[in-house]
Amino acid sequence: MVDLREPMRELIQDPKTYTRDLEFPDPDKIFLYDDTLRDGEQMPGVAFSPQQKVELAELLSEIGVDVMDVAFPVSSESDRQALSLILQARRSGQIVNTVEVLAMCRSVQGDIDAVLQVVDASGVRPNDVSLLILSTLSDLHLKYKLGRMLLKREGRSDSEWLDMPVAFYREANIRMICDAITYARSKGIEQIEFAAEDASRGSLDYAIEWAEACIEAGGTRFCFSDTCGVFTPEGVDHYFPPIVEALGVQNGRVDLTAHFHNDFGLGALNTVRAVMHGATHPSITANGIGERAGNTSLHQFVMVLKELYGVTLPRFQYHRLHELRKAVERISGIPIQ
């Protein structure tokens, strides 16, 4: 180690020189939302056993994650078992009991029932689990991905698919997710995230209309998703400030998740930008694992926020990042570059 003859501040320009005047929410009100166990598992070649999910959930809860998306129960017996084991581990204290455990559903009653069956079999209450209920916001997805299903749900003929205007699918989509939220609330689930697939390519006005309807139906958190990984910081600047203002995010009316993918290497920067605008729940995965090029990396996000923007998360154990990295490499089989 060389003994520097000059003060460090005279030798280098601190990276925070250019960011120190930016305003961020109170760090105590930034909640890390981990997707390692569910969305992260979509990385090609990755498959976690239920027991491995419990092991990772324990480590993630200890390091300071606030929310964990752990399973899509209707999709497999493995996911149902993982959700059950994690709920029981939290109840026993093996997983930090303040961590929110979340399960994913489509806007389908059967998906919600699959979660409730696991909850009942695990001996916990419906309000011990949170739901993420999935829909979409882009007109491309509404008409050409969900269109036929929405037609059937509305009692219309499949032959009308291509001729029906986008406005029809927008309205049907709102009815579909609101019905799902209402059903989940009627079953005793209190924390319900309404998730918008492909939101980063959708209409801002429709996003606000859709979210308002979801809140009125009983939704408690809006998940804004950059499903295709095409967001830029300028795109975040376009969507997030008006959404935060219109929905009363800063007043606590509803929470807001920023769920971004990393196809162009912008996941961490875009997520920091969304948090700066008021997003309450940055969505991340350990080691950045996830479908295609991965999700926003937990490691990159917390360190960019701390070292480049001067925002330290009070509940996070930064000294355990290497331990987390090695655990995920070992269990996933995917080494970090």
Angle at 11 between CA 6 and CA 13, to 5 degrees: 145
Beta carbons of 213 and 172 less than 8 angstroms apart: no
Q: Residue 260: helix, strand or coil by DSSP?
A: strand
Partners of 67 in the beta sheet? 33, 100
Q: What residue ranges of the chain have pLDDT lower than 70? A: none
Rounded Cα–Cα distance for residues 191 and 102 (Å): 9
Beta carbons of 137 and 185 less than 8 angstroms apart: no
Q: What is the pLDDT of residue 3?
A: 92
Q: What is the pLDDT of residue 337?
A: 78
Beta carbons of 229 and 292 less than 8 angstroms apart: yes
Q: What is the pLDDT of residue 57?
A: 98
Q: Taking Cα atoms as reference points, which of 24, 19, 31, 30 lies closest to residue 309?
A: 19
Residue 196: how many CB atoms within 10 A of its CB? 27
Rounded Cα–Cα distance for residues 57 and 86 (Å): 7
Q: Is 218 exposed, middle or buried (0-12, 13-18, 19+ CB in 10 A)?
A: middle
Rounded Cα–Cα distance for residues 69 and 321 (Å): 19
> Residues near 79 by Cβ (< 8 Å), separated by ≥ 6?
71, 72, 73
The C-alpha torsion from 68 through 74 and 75 to 81, rounded to 10°, is 60
Q: Is 240 exposed, middle or buried (0-12, 13-18, 19+ CB in 10 A)?
A: buried
- Residue-wise pLDDT for 150-196, tens only, equals 999 999 999 999 999 999 999 999 999 999 999 999 999 999 999 99
The number of CA neighbours under 13 Å toward the Cβ of 143 is 12
One-character DSSP codes across 191-218: -EEEEEETGGGS-HHHHHHHHHHHHHHT
Q: What is the pLDDT of residue 271?
A: 98
Q: Taking Cα atoms as reference points, which of 253, 167, 239, 241 lies closest to residue 205?
A: 239
pTM: 0.95
Beta carbons of 67 and 100 less than 8 angstroms apart: yes
Q: How far is CA 249 from CA 3, 189, 194, 274, 288, in A?
A: 49, 21, 14, 12, 27
Give the pairing type, strands 130-136 and 281-284.
unpaired
Query: Token pair of 162, please?
Result: 């291509």
